[in-house]
Structure formats: C-alpha cells, structure tokens
Amino acid sequence: KQEVTQIPAALSVPEGENLVLNCSFTDSAIYNLQWFRQDPGKGLTSLLLIQSSQREQTSGRLNASLDKSSGRSTLYIAASQPGDSATYLCAVPTFTGNQFYFGTGTSLTVIP
C-alpha cells in the first residue's frame, strides 16, 4: 500500500520568505501527483497536478517538482503572503485511479 509522508507537519515563516514543502511516497509507480490547499473548515482546492512524465509544474508563485525515482515531490512557494496560510496536502493515485493516497499535510502560517 502506498504511504505518503509530508514534512514538516507545521511551518511558520515571515511574509515575503520563499519556502519549500516536502512530500514523499513509498511506491514510485505513480501516474501523477496532485498538490492541494485546505483552509480551516473547508474542502480541498487543487493547486497543481504534475504528471509522472513531468519534472515540474508552475502556477504563479507556486512550483511543484517531482522525482519519481526517489519518491519525492516538493512544493515551492515564492514570496509568501499571509493569504498563503493554510494546510497543504499532496496526493498520489493508484495507477488505475481507483484510490488516492493523501499525506497528513503541512500547516503553513505566514506572519505579516
């Protein structure tokens, strides 16, 4: 069974700082990897989907990288803002897409 781990569990940074969130997975035979944002009491918002054939994907101040062979993905947030404060989750599907495995998330606080 795929296991997904996210480190750190919590992170607090001053506004304007660049930061990296980490996601690791045990089974490298993945189809893609998706990063989500979750605000308190809310559902998940998709941020980036990176296919297994890609090495990175960018959207605005966000950049996700994927290294399948080492079982790792990183989410880079540039010039962090207080509005970026949320929990960030990564998820990987089984190859059939029948199930998705989530990490426990990184809770980010950006201090004004």
Partner 1 sequence: GAGVSQTPSNKVTEKGKYVELRCDPISGHTALYWYRQSLGQGPEFLIYFQGTGAADDSGLPNDRFFAVRPEGSVSTLKIQRTERGDSAVYLCASSLTQGAREQFFGPGTRLTVL
Which residues here bind partner 1, judged by CB under 8 A? 4, 31-32, 34, 36, 41-46, 49, 89, 91, 93-105
60 vs 97, which CB is nearer to partner 1? Answer: 97
**Shortest distance (Å) from residue 77 CB to partner 1:** 19
Which of 79, 82, 88 lies closest to 4, judged by CA?
A: 88
Q: How many CB atoms lie within 10 A of CB 26?
A: 12
**Shortest distance (Å) from residue 79 CB to partner 1:** 26
Which of 9, 2, 59, 1 lies closest to 32, judged by CA?
A: 2
36 vs 66, which CB is nearer to partner 1? Answer: 36
